[in-house]
Chains A and B, each alone.
Chain A
Amino acid sequence: MLTFTIRRLLVAIPTLLFISLIIFLLLDLAPGDPLANMPLTIPPDVRENMRAALGLDQPVWIRYALWLKQFFWVEPLNILDSILGTSLAGDGQRVLSWQTRSPVADIIAQRMPQTLWVVGLAYVVGVLIAIPIGIISAYKQYSVFDQAGTFVSMIGYSVPPFFTGVLVIIIFSVNLGWFPSIYDTTLQVNSWATFKQQLIQMVMPVMVLALQTTAQISRFMRASMLDNLRQDYVRTARAKGLRERTVLMAHVARNSMIPVVTVIALGVPSIFGGAIITEQVFKVNGIGQLMITSIQSNDIPMVQTLTFIFAVLIVLANLIADILYGLLDPRIRYD
């Protein structure tokens, strides 16, 4: 397993480099203009100057090489500097956002906490609810619980967050006044009162996001459980006189986790990617909102960096999923 992991990590390096090149070319090819949001009153020659100042007059491969240098050399040095208090980076140009003219890494670091709080928590909540629902619905297939679970999760999944988000705001903020409709990103949690405030403002976005996660994962869990409940080994286990609970949890649930682990692992990078629509609706302004505003204003350094970090997480998550397969099912071998 160790050699497998090392080999996969080594393969990941050229893969990621290739992915970064493809992303860069794609962003370069995409129509759009970082100055599109500027007023039409700015004359064309001024626009041309501004574009040149962003480095857009350089050929694409020079810009790519520059980004590689900034991302893999200057930025890590800067991180080292901020940890050790040294000044290794000197005045090397960092990856700068075109929109805000400030280092991309700083903005991402600023956005990460709220995204992890809200999207991360919603994911954990969603998974924790989904797995028992999936197990019970499968075990008691076609019971009232199963039918209700199916119904709610299907509705939850087919109604998009731009609608559920606004709906919960109207019910809980406008009519009942329980929760704030706008998330306060400047809130510092340092006391019981602020902690409570943080919880209150997270309820609605977490609710909306968890609904989607629960719907998706409980469906996969239920389907996988159903498949396994019909396998011969279940009959054997029962025949051996094992307790029903042991059969269900130790054997069936464990074996059913393989497709579910894939789904869960695939979802983890998306926590860091943020939730574009839900963040917009509740003004959480995390990574998802950063991504969409950067795409809309064609902030290529920001989009490139975010997407690349995202790619790294995806590759890692898939590697972890593969390792988990091996742990869950010793029959799976990678040689």
Chain B
Amino acid sequence: MTLRHLLLGAGLSALLAPAAFAERGADGHVNLIYYQAPSIMNPYLSGGTKDLEASSLVIEPLVRFNPTGEMVPWLVEEIPTIENGGVAEDMTSITYKLKPGLKWSDGTDFTADDVVFTGQYCMHPEGACAQLARFEGVKEIEALDPQTVKITFTGPKPYPYMPFVTYESPILQKAQFQNCTGTAGPSCSEENFNPIGTGAFKVDEFRPNDVISLSANENYRDPALPHFATMTLKGGGDAAAAARSVLETGEYDYAWNIQLAPEVLAQMISAGKGEAIKTFGTQVERIEVNLTDPSSSLPEGERSTDAHPHPFLSDVRVRRALSMAIDRQLLSDIGYGEAGKPTCNLVPAPAAYASPNTECLTQDIEGAKALLDEAGWVPGSDGVREKDGMRLSLLFQTSTNAVRQDFQSIIKQWWQEIGVETELKNVDGSVFFGSDPGSPDTMHKFYADVEMYANTFPGTDPEQYLAQYTCEKAPDPGNAWQGSNTNRYCDPAYDEMLAELGATADLEERGRLSIALNDMLTKDSMTVLPLVYRGTSSARSNTLGGVNINAWDSGLWNVADWYRVK
């Protein structure tokens, strides 16, 4: 496998690009547009995808993922495994051999010291590194020699490919950043805007939240690459304008993340100047059900906590009925078109971790009604079901986003058909996804009955993602509402199985356990109602070749191979 990837990584340009034998920079200038403008080039100080994408042009990790989700040795000779001796038998350490002869864009040598420094930079106790989770369980990072890096973990690490893997964890140059560790990090704006890297491009001018001008790195490892001499990465505006500048006016060559209504996108493509390209990672749009009582009549501090179970959503039959009333295929078609697929799973990919569960895909309004009847909810005079004087009435919140508001309206209609009354609420994203403990509208506080958003996990291993639903991670006033288990789901069996996953190295067994955990949350308990498996789509002009967007890593991962179609 590693051999194949080595060949693939090195030979990709030869296979794809007709101009591969041309000189570096022969294809002139390329224009990229990101409707969210990058604000910093240092991924350790910002976790935002826009910033990660932009920085991936310049700084690179040791290992990347390719569009099919396989690891590609990027700055190293091969992917370390137990078989090739790169990972210790007891799984407590991993050793990377760097590719020989790599240079930074300033002409100095790229060595193991830089890798060690990057680790120390992120793990600095006062540094507030955004990617610290990637270094969890790391005991020591050492340079055995200038070409070899050894990472030692505090215990056995069945999945050791976290530090220095993917665009979330690229290598910084020690010489440039050594005075920027700890609390000095944020004030190094020159360094954070113009990092020296090993990537295909280097920054000429960085205008935060506006535009980045880049040019080819003269010291890039392949003397024929990149094909483009200069690049402009413009930011700002909205997705429709970005798509229009590529697909209709042809001013730009590539637009990132164009989430638009399918018919609007189709109309833009009909201008014939470019195409939309899509890829699927692990992003799932879902409805999360609150298992605790969010009623505003409860005293502050007890609302949405496990002190009060939800009056009716704690009944699995009600939750199942809500799920049965939804036509996921239709939602996917209306909201995402080609860039969406209906799903019943929280973990939709990679294949080894995805549950075969598809039972939710057929809408069953009659079945949902029967289930509610069985649970004792009978229609009242206005069509809304009642039981013991309680009405089946929900508050449904989500962030502000045209597609989400359309979804809300449709789902409200279906729920109305089965006798459930729904009040809709949308909250600005900067409040909803924020965690200001003073705001009643955050997704973590969850002062509503159901809420909808999308989440994803980086890389290909879902363990940390599934770990979000353990009992101890429920947000409550005790932890300032910080916690990922917004549903307040708590099942000791789930926690036990998750611990088992954490101690298992065998990939097949990990897959089995992940699927079981996924099913516990979805089809068994209906705590999470997955709706749509979402891809990301980008727009590419007909004159830009070599684009191979990637959901597992930066969409610009192979930017060195991009070329001008003549």
Contact = CB atoms under 8 A, between A and B. Distances in A.
Quick check: do A and B touch in the complex, using CB within 8 A?
A: yes
B363 interface: no
Contact of A41 (B192, B439, B465): B465
Contact of A180 (B40, B46, B251): B251
Interface in A153-191: 166, 169, 173-174, 177, 180-182, 185-186
A93 B37 contact: no
Interface string B124-166: 0011111011000000000000000000000000000000000
Interface stretch (B79-87, B205-213, B541-549): B205-213
Nearest to B193: A102
B249 interface: yes
A44 B482 contact: yes
A195 to B, nearest CB: 20
B191 to A, nearest CB: 10
Interface in A13-55: 29, 31-33, 35-50, 52-54
Interface string B287-299: 0000000000000
A33 B209 contact: no
Given A39-B456, A46-B129, A182-B234, A102 B189 contact: yes
Interface string B182-208: 010111110011000000000001011
B433 A36 contact: yes
B251 A44 contact: no
Given A44-B484, A185-B211, A280-B236, A36 B431 contact: yes
B457 interface: yes
Contacts of B244: 169, 174, 181
A169 to B, nearest CB: 7
A32 B431 contact: yes
A3 interface: no
Contacts of A33: 430-431, 433-436, 442
Given A38-B46, A41-B465, A100 B130 contact: no
B430 A296 contact: yes
B209 A100 contact: yes
Contacts of B431: 31-33, 36
A103 interface: yes
B39 interface: yes
Nearest to B238: A280
A111 B210 CA distance: 9
Given A101-B192, A174-B244, A280-B238, A39 B430 contact: no
Contacts of A42: 47, 130, 133
A291 to B, nearest CB: 11
Contact of B45 (A52, A101, A295): A101
A59 to B, nearest CB: 14
Contact of A289 (B40, B128, B236, B438): B236
Contacts of B271: 174
B241 A48 contact: no
A174 B186 CA distance: 42
A86 interface: no
A31 B437 CA distance: 8
B248 A174 contact: yes
Contacts of A96: 186-187, 189
Contacts of A110: 207, 210
Nearest to A103: B189
Given A49-B128, A101-B189, A38 B48 contact: yes
Contact of A283 (B183, B241, B434, B465): B241
Contact of B210 (A32, A185, A297): A185
Contacts of A137: none
B401 interface: no
Given A32-B439, A93-B187, A180-B251, A283 B237 contact: yes
Contacts of B422: none
A274 to B, nearest CB: 13
A37 B211 contact: no
Interface in A79-114: 93, 96-97, 99-103, 106-107, 110-111
B252 interface: yes
A46 B192 contact: no
B339 interface: no
A177 B244 CA distance: 13
Name the interface size band of chain B: 35 or more
A285 interface: yes
A198 interface: no
Given A169-B244, A174-B244, A101 B47 contact: no
Nearest to B443: A40
A45 B133 CA distance: 9
A290 B187 contact: no
Contacts of A31: 431, 434, 436, 438-439, 441-442
A174 to B, nearest CB: 5
Given A37-B430, A185-B211, A283-B236, A293 B37 contact: yes
A44 B37 contact: no
A283 B193 CA distance: 21
Contacts of B183: 53
Interface in B25-76: 33, 37, 39-40, 42, 45-49
A202 interface: no
Contact of B40 (A101, A169, A182): A101
B293 to A, nearest CB: 22
B275 to A, nearest CB: 17
B234 A100 contact: no
B186 A101 contact: yes
A153 B211 CA distance: 35
A53 B133 CA distance: 17
A329 B288 CA distance: 66
B368 to A, nearest CB: 30
A110 B193 CA distance: 14
A251 B145 CA distance: 88
A290 B209 contact: yes
Interface in B435-472: 435-436, 438-439, 441-442, 453, 455-458, 464-465
Interface of B: 33, 37, 39-40, 42, 45-49, 126-130, 132-133, 183, 185-189, 192-193, 205, 207-211, 213, 232, 234-238, 241, 244-245, 248-249, 251-252, 271, 428-436, 438-439, 441-442, 453, 455-458, 464-465, 479, 482-484
* CB-based closest 3 A-B pairs: A33-B434, A31-B439, A53-B128
Given A41-B47, A103-B189, A293-B37, 15 more contacts: A32-B434, A38-B47, A40-B453, A41-B455, A45-B482, A53-B185, A100-B40, A100-B193, A101-B45, A101-B189, A166-B241, A180-B249, A182-B245, A182-B251, A285-B37
